[in-house]
Structure formats: C-alpha cells, structure tokens
Amino acid sequence: MHDYPLSIVEHVGFRRFVVGLQPLFQVPARNTIKKDIFCVYDFGKDSIMKLLDANDGRVAITSDIWTASNQKKGFMAVTAHFINSSWILQSHVLRFIYIPAPHTAEKLCHALVDCSKVVEEAATVMNEIESDDDDIGARSIAWLE
C-alpha cells in the first residue's frame, strides 16, 4: 500500500478525503489499527499451528526469495506444505521477511536462522519435517555446518 505509515490516518488531508467518501465513517486511531493488525496476525498464527498440530503426515518447509523490481528490495517467504486428512494440499506462510542486498548465501543463511524460531515452533507440533535438498533453505543450512 505505497509504504505509507499507519500515522497517515492522523493527517488532515487523509481525514478530509475519508469524509468526502463517507461522512459517517469514523477513522480509527493508528494505535487501534496496529492493535487490530497484531490480533489478526495472532489469530492466523494460532490457526496455522492448530492445522499443523492436527496433521498426521509429513510437512515440507520451503523458502523462496525474490526482489521487488521497483524498489530493489529482497524478500523471503518460509512456507509449510502438507496434505491434510482430506488429501488436499495445504500451504501456509510461516514467515515473510525483508532481506537486505546483496543477497549472498551468508545473508540468506542468517535470515533463515532468524526465521528458525518460527519454524522450530511449527516443528514442535509436527512428527517429521522433510526438506527438499535442492531448496535454498537446505543449502543455506548446510552452509552453516
């Protein structure tokens, strides 16, 4: 959303714009929006952990990195994939993080290690984790050893 801070809701111009769209709408305070964002995040995280806990099969953890072409900023997603009891493939993002340039193996490895707290939390509710050796995450972890 154009990288605007939450404080935009306090700007006079933004408030005028909203009143022009819908005079009865009450713009929430930025702290209220921030609190709501964290509530939605916590709810989503709990939901994913419950899904992983209910899973009787194996889970594959993968990572993907890409660069936003307009800003030249790198991002990494760590995702859990598994097949549920109804034989439907489930894929859920465990972590999404910014990776500063240049995207060297060392920086990718450190980013994955930082993500490991979330992945370890997911792993505590799983029996086994399998990772594809061709995945950058597996190569990065091997680089640490």
Helix, strand, coil abundance in the chain, percent, nearest 5: 45, 25, 30
Class of domain 55-145: alpha beta
Q: Give the amino acid at 42.
A: D
Q: Is the predicted pLDDT of residue 89 greater than 90, yes or no?
A: yes
**79, 60 in Cβ contact below 8 A?**
no
Give the pLDDT band of residue 126 (cuts 50, 70, 90).
Answer: very low
- Tell me what the mean pLDDT of segment 105-116 comes to: 80
**Cα within 13 Å of Cα(133), Cβ side:** 0
What stretch(es) of the chain map to CATH 3.10.450? 55-145
Distance separating alpha carbons of residues 107 and 80, to the nearest angstrom: 21
State yes or no: pLDDT of 87 exceeds 70. Answer: yes
Q: Are 101 and 111 in contact (CB under 8 A)?
A: no
- pTM above threshold 0.85: no
| Helices (H), ranges, the chain | 12-21, 30-54, 105-123, 136-144
